[in-house]
Structure 1
Amino acid sequence: MGAKPVTTPIPKGLKLSSESGELLEDVSKYRRVVGRLLYLGFTRPDITYVVHQLSQYVHAPRTVHWSYVMHVLKYLKGCPSLGLFYPVSTDFQPVVYSDADWAACMDSRKSLTGYCVFLGQSLVSWKCKKQVTVSRSSAEAEYRSMADVVTELMWISFILRDLAVHFQLPVSLHCDNKAALHITANPVFHERTKHIDIDCHVVRQQLKEGLVTPVHVSSSLQIADIFTKSLNAPLFNFFKFKLGLVDFYQIPT
C-alpha cells in the first residue's frame, strides 16, 4: 500500500454509526480485512478499540467504515514491528485498570467497557466491549466496567494460585470516576443505585473479601482509556508505551 502512514489508528474524537455514508457494494472485502484485524488484535492491543468499532458493521458496512479500515492499515504500515514486550525481571503482582465511555454507541447509546490487567509490568489481559444494557449515568457505566474486570481478575487469581504463584492482596483497581468508586465503598445503597444489576455488586463482594481495593487515578494516567475512546497522538503513544508495546527492531541486545 503506497499510502502515507498515520500516527494513530483512528482520528481523535471520531464516533461511527450505522447510517454514515453509502452501503458498500463489495461487503466481502470489508469482512475479510476486519477479520484479519481481529486476529492481529490478539497481540496488538493498540488497535483493539478501533477494530471493535469497525467489527460492529460487518453485516452492512458503508463507505465511511471502509475509509477507516484503510486508516487502520495506514497506521499499521507505520509500525509493522510493534509488539508486546515481556521483561524477564517483572514480578507477578496484578494491577488492574478499568474505564468506560458512557453512551458511546451512536446507534444504541450503550456504553463501552474497557479494561486491562497487568502482572507486574506485563500486560496479560485486555478487553473492549459494548455493555449489554443502557446505563443511566457515567457512574453506572464505570461500575459495570469495574464488575467485568473484577470477574476477569478472579479468574486470573485462580490460575495463579493453581500455579503456586504468590501475590499480595488486595489488588489495586484503578478507576477515574469518583462516583463509581463511592458506590463501591458506600455500604448503603440509595434509591438512585437500585437500578444497577445485582451481578455488578460482585465488586462490593470482592472488596469485602479483600481481593481488590479501588484506587482513583487521573484521566491522564488512565491506561484503559486506550480501549474506550479515540485519543490524540501524544496521549495514545503514552498509553501504548505503558501497555508494553515496543518496536522489536529497536530493542537493545
Structure 2
Amino acid sequence: MKPHASAPAVSILFAGLFLCAPLHAADLSVAVAANFTAPMQKIAEVFEKDTGHKLVLSFGSTGKFYAQIKNGAPFEVLFAADDETPARLEREGDGVAGTRFTYAIGKLVLWSKQAGLVDDQGEVLRKGRFERIALADPRLAPYGAAAMQTLNKLGLADSLASKFVQGENIGQTYQFVATQNAPLGFVALSQVYADGRVTEGSAWIVPGELYEPIRQDVLVLAKGKDNAAAAALMDYMKGDTARDIIRSYGYAL
C-alpha cells in the first residue's frame, strides 16, 4: 500500500496548479476588420489557451466600427484595416495613447472561384468579358480604396464602373465572389490564401505599386484601458505565435 501524500506536499501541488493559471483572466470585446477574420479567430483560440483571457470578437468594416465607437459601442480593442482610423481615434481621445502599432500589412488580390478565369497578370480586367466585378465600398473599407486605386492606375475605373458590385466590407465582397454572384472581385489575399498558395479558383495578386500600402493598426480603446486582457493581447500580437499565424495568411509584417 502506497503512503498518503503529506499535507505539505498537497499544499505545494495546489499552489503549483494556481501558478500555472492566470490570476486575473478576463473577457475582452474586440472589433476586427473583416479581412482579418480567419487569422484573428485562430489567434483568439491560442491566446485563450496560453493566457486564459477570452476574446469576444466582432467583425466588420473599419469605417462602421469608427462610427460605432464614437457612438459609445463597448469595444475595448480595435484591429483596423488601415492606420488612419486608429490614429484618428487616438487623437480624439477614444484610444489609449501609446498602444497603437501596425500588426499586419495587407495585400490585395483579384480573385475568382472559377479556375482559369483570372490570369496571373490581371489581363482579364482589360478584356472585360464578365458581367460584374465585386469590390468593397472604398468610402468605408481600405481594401475597397486599394481596389479603386488599382483600377485608376490601370486606367480602367471608368470603363468598368457599370459592372461594379459593392460590398459593405471586404467580408461581404468575398461572399459575392465565393457564391459566384460576381464572377470575380478584389478581396484580401488573406481570405483566399493558406499554406503558401491561393487555395481555390484563380487569382492575380495585385502588385504593391498599384495601391498605397494597407498598413493595419491595432489600438487599445478607452473602454479597454484598465482591462488586463487588453495589455496581454497587445504583447501577444508582437510575439512569434501570433506573427507566424499572420504570415501564414499572406500578410507582410
TM-score (norm 2): 0.27
Point out the structure with max Rg over C-alpha. 2
Instruction: Select the structure that is richer in strand.
Output: 2
